[in-house]
């Protein structure tokens, strides 16, 4: 990986392929590796840029106040890209939305996969998940906290572990552990989400939803598709929250078609 250092620490990133730039922003329980299965096919036509958000993967935890939107802009300036196709999953989807609202001239298209909705009235199931994670962390039981997140975000509420592809849990375990270890310092220094009206987003937009995801996120995906003018909604029947892990072939096909429209 390459490193972009600054006074807050550093961002780690990878660049693969040649062509118009596509930036992939990972989920809040993952890192840049969640996109591994998609990169070879996307890199046939595009310069694929992946990076770890601060405190995730190989990027350092922040040493002071930071903005995810500013970080992405700094990375693009460093790489010399003026306009990008932007893809984000879960929390990375919200980062992608905020970046599009803040820098509309720099975004050619927007793809968001199971992004959160600020201020959403979460279900009892989501509240129970949050309480279980918090209890494990307070008790200093990081392994249990990792397991709680694997159950919620990888397995999901609609299937057993026997229905999850072999190896995915172990692939995600270390990235979740890193995110949990750093979540307090990230939360303390993050300037929070951006502001803006979704109705002002004027770029082609694709919203992805995993049909096995938590019902809250299925509802949220439809909200984004309704609020962003002209947005298209694509359902992935075999995917829970992390679509790139559960349905990489289907997601790659959808992205290639969307990006070469």
pLDDT over threshold 90, residue 189:
yes
For residue 174, tell me if it sits in a domain: no
pLDDT over threshold 80, residue 192:
no
Q: How many domains does the chain have?
A: 1
For residue 166, tell me if it sits in a domain: no
What would the DSSP string read from start to end of 72-138?
HHHHHHHHT-SSEEEEEETHHHHHHHHHHHH-GGGEEEEEEES---TT----HHHHHHHHHHHHHHH
For residue 179, tell me if it sits in a domain: no
For residue 207, tell me if it sits in a domain: yes
For residue 221, the model assigns a pLDDT of 97
Structure tokens belonging to residue 171 = 């692939």
Q: Which of 257, 249, 259 has the alpha carbon at shortest distance from 40?
A: 249
pLDDT over threshold 80, residue 83:
yes
For residue 134, tell me if it sits in a domain: no
* Strand 107-113 versus strand 20-25 pairing type: unpaired
Q: Round the average pLDDT of the chain to a whole number and report it.
A: 96
Structure tokens belonging to residue 85 = 């196709």
Residue 158 banded pLDDT, cuts 50, 70, 90: confident
Domain that holds residue 104: 2-120+188-259
Q: Which of 192, 3, 12, 172 has the alpha carbon at shortest distance from 102?
A: 192
CATH number at residue 62: 3.40.50.1820
For residue 106, tell me if it sits in a domain: yes
Q: What single-letter DSSP state applies at residue 155?
A: I
Average pLDDT of the residues in 78-85: 97
Tens digit of each residue's pLDDT (9 = 90 or more) over 98-112: 999 999 999 999 999
Counting residues of the chain whose pLDDT is more than 90, the rounded percentage is: 97
For residue 261, the model assigns a pLDDT of 81
For residue 180, the model assigns a pLDDT of 98
Residue 234 banded pLDDT, cuts 50, 70, 90: very high
Residue 196 banded pLDDT, cuts 50, 70, 90: confident
Lowest mean pLDDT among 75-89, 184-198, 217-231, 234-248: 184-198
Query: Angle 84-175-193 (CA atoms, 0-180°, nearest 5)?
Result: 50
For residue 142, the model assigns a pLDDT of 98
pLDDT over threshold 80, residue 195:
no
Average pLDDT of the residues in 140-168: 96
Structure tokens belonging to residue 238 = 């075999």
For residue 82, tell me if it sits in a domain: yes
Tens digit of each residue's pLDDT (9 = 90 or more) over 17-73: 999 999 999 999 999 999 999 999 999 999 999 999 999 999 999 999 999 999 999
pLDDT over threshold 80, residue 194:
no
Lowest mean pLDDT among 37-51, 97-111, 179-193, 200-214: 179-193
CA dist., res. 193 & res. 182, Å (int): 18
Beta carbons of 60 and 84 less than 8 angstroms apart: no
pLDDT over threshold 90, residue 171:
yes
pLDDT over threshold 80, residue 4:
yes
For residue 137, tell me if it sits in a domain: no
Neighbours of 192 (CB within 10 A): 10
């Amino acid at each position: 990986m390459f490193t972009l250092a600054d006074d807050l620490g550093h961002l780690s990133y990878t660049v693969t392929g040649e062509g118009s730039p596509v930036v992939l922003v990972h989920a809040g329980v993952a890192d840049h590796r969640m996109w591994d299965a998609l990169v070879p096919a996307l890199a046939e036509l595009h310069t694929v840029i992946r990076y770890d958000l601060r405190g995730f993967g190989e990027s350092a935890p922040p040493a002071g106040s930071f903005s995810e939107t500013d970080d992405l802009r700094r990375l693009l300036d460093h790489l010399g890209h003026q306009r990008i196709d932007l893809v984000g999953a879960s929390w990375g989807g919200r980062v992608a939305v905020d970046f599009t609202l803040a820098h509309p001239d720099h975004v050619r298209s927007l793809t968001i996969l199971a992004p959160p909705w600020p201020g959403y009235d979460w279900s009892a199931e989501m509240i129970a998940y949050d309480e279980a994670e918090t209890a494990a962390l307070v008790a200093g039981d990081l392994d249990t906290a990792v397991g709680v997140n694997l159950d919620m975000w990888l397995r999901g509420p609609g299937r057993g572990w026997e229905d999850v592809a072999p190896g995915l849990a172990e692939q995600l375990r270390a990235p979740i552990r890193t995110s949990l270890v750093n979540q307090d310092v990230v939360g303390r220094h993050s300037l929070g989400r951006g502001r803006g009206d979704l109705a002002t987003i004027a770029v082609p937009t694709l919203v992805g939803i995993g049909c096995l995801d938590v019902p809250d996120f299925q509802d949220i995906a439809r909200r984004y598709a309704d609020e962003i003018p002209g947005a298209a909604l694509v359902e992935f029947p075999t995917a829970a929250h992390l679509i790139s892990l559960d349905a990489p072939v289907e997601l790659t096909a959808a992205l290639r078609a969307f990006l070469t429209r």
